[in-house]
Amino acid sequence: MKGNEPLLILAAVVAIFVYGMIAAMLGTILPDLSSRFQLTPKQNGTIAFAQAVGLMVASLAVGPLLDDFGKKVGLILGLSLIAVVLFALPRSAGFRSIVFLLFLLGMGGGIVVTGANALTSDVGEAHRGIALNLVNIFFGLGGLATPFISANLFKRNWVRLCYTVAGLTVVTLAIQAAAHMPPPTGAGRFIFADAGPVLGRPILFILGFLLFLYVGCEVGIWNWLVRHLIAQGIPESRALNVLSLGFALGLLIGRVGASLVLISAPPVYITLAASVAMAVTTFLLLRTSNPTVAAVLVFLAGLSMAPVFPTTLAIVGDAFPRMTGTAIGIVITCGWAGLAVSSHIIGAIAGSDPKRIRKALLVIPASSVLMILLNVGILAMAR
């Protein structure tokens, strides 16, 4: 596999980049969708919930698929779903069709993020934490690209944005098809035989709960920040740039820094420090309506959140060298459950009043505090 590693890393990188673009898609196009179809914040929450359910279903189901049939099958399936949805979304007829399409987009995204991270975990086995952080830099780059392109190149033309990202997804699909990926790591009989030991290890569910809280925080920013900033009187174009040049750029730079720190620091120290910084920055972000201060705090929040997702998956990969896809799928599914719960709570608290989104987003710093406690518990278990 050594000679094939560059193409495998490329395959993982472009897949993560596409996932980054679709992770930022809903938050980017939600103001225009809300205006076009007269959607309330509660309906926005339902749409985000549908995407989260799709992510959960896909991530839970795809782990055994990856272990049985290999990463290529999963990545091709997930990217195909994403392309179909993005070509169909501009033709949606209203709220119900948007909910259905976002559910399918969530399924595609869940398959891709699980498959790409499992592929990276296999290829970068010797330095798993560093490899996962470096590859997930491109998640931040994709998240930066979507709102930036929308605000500055397409002038918030969400239809052109959907078609452009769909085209990039098709190119990525071709790269996955060309890559010669590692063989499956397990078989059906192995999965059933080893299900007990895997599910019986408390570390799997502790890490799952950590990702449950974290994903709710991160995607809460992606999906709701622009609407929150607009409610504070900030123009939509500027709010989109705050999301791209603030939050996404923070994620990108933070993962570069984390990959360097992980050379000498234990992964759980990284996730603990990140959780503390998340609690502080997101709380302060929700206390300001100054666009400049908000931009700085959004960047710092992105910097804080950057290492949590890939570093947690690195811990999972180290703990489960066999059935890695299944273990990663279970933990990521817990993450998407956090997205579903947080989206439902945020939408319910905000109701029909956009100005209440600020109050609803306090879910994020509260979850960050719980993440601190979980990391302290993991550290105590390790000792």
Is residue 187 within 8 A of residue 70, CB to CB? The reply is: no
What is the tens place of the pLDDT at every residue in 83-96? Answer: 999 999 988 888 99
Determine the Cα–Cα distance for residues 189 and 378; give it in Å rounded to an integer: 32
What is the percentage of the chain residues whose pLDDT exceeds 70?
91
pLDDT above 90 (res 179):
no
Task: Supply the pTM of this predicted model.
Answer: 0.72
Task: State residue 137's pLDDT score.
Answer: 82
For domain 2-382, give the fold: Growth Hormone; Chain: A; (1.20.1250)
In sequence order, which residues have a C-beta less than 8 Å from that of residue 292 and are 6 or more positions away?
A: none
Banded model confidence at residue 124, pLDDT cuts 50, 70, 90 = low
More confident residue, 21 or 157: 21
What is the tens place of the pLDDT at every residue in 233-286? Answer: 888 888 888 887 788 788 888 888 888 887 888 888 999 999 999 999 999 999
pLDDT above 90 (res 159):
no
Sign of the torsion formed by the C-alpha atoms of 188, 193, 199 and 202: negative
Cα distances from 333 to residues 151, 176, 208, 212, 370, in angstroms, run 32, 23, 8, 8, 19
pLDDT above 80 (res 108):
yes
Determine the Cα–Cα distance for residues 226 and 223; give it in Å rounded to an integer: 7
The one-letter code for the residue type at 343 is S
Q: What is the 3-state secondary structure (H, E, C) of 87-109?
A: HHHHHCCCHHHHHHHHHHHHHHH
Q: What is the mean pLDDT of residues 52-57?
A: 85
What is the percentage of the chain residues whose pLDDT exceeds 90?
29
More confident residue, 100 or 351: 100
* Residue ranges of domains in the chain: 2-382
